[in-house]
Amino acid sequence: MDTVRQRTVAPAPGFHAPVDIAVLTERGRAEFARLAHDERLLSWTAQRMNDYVVATADTRPTAALEVRP
């Protein structure tokens, strides 16, 4: 996904300021296709949790090694 500034016409009745809108790019389509494929795998639940497990595992040893005099 990418964002672009929406074009607006000259001030007239119903005029609104330019706004950013989401646009699906080829890269975004490829990512959605990859995720859709991965969701059908039996290991999807484990894959989905990997980022959280790694983040938790990385923070715990650091806190356990902290020593205060």
Any residues with CB less than 8 A from the CB of 4 and at least 6 apart, and which?
20, 21, 23
> How many whole angstroms separate alpha carbon 43 and alpha carbon 51?
14
Helical (H) or strand (E) element with 64: helix 44-65
> How many whole angstroms separate alpha carbon 15 and alpha carbon 8?
8
Q: Across all residues in the chain, what is the average pLDDT?
A: 75
For residue range 46-60, what is the model confidence (pLDDT) as tens digits?
877 876 765 555 555
Q: Looking at per-residue confidence, does 69 or 56 come out higher?
A: 69
Whole-structure pTM value: 0.45
State how beta strands 20-23 and 2-5 pair. Answer: antiparallel
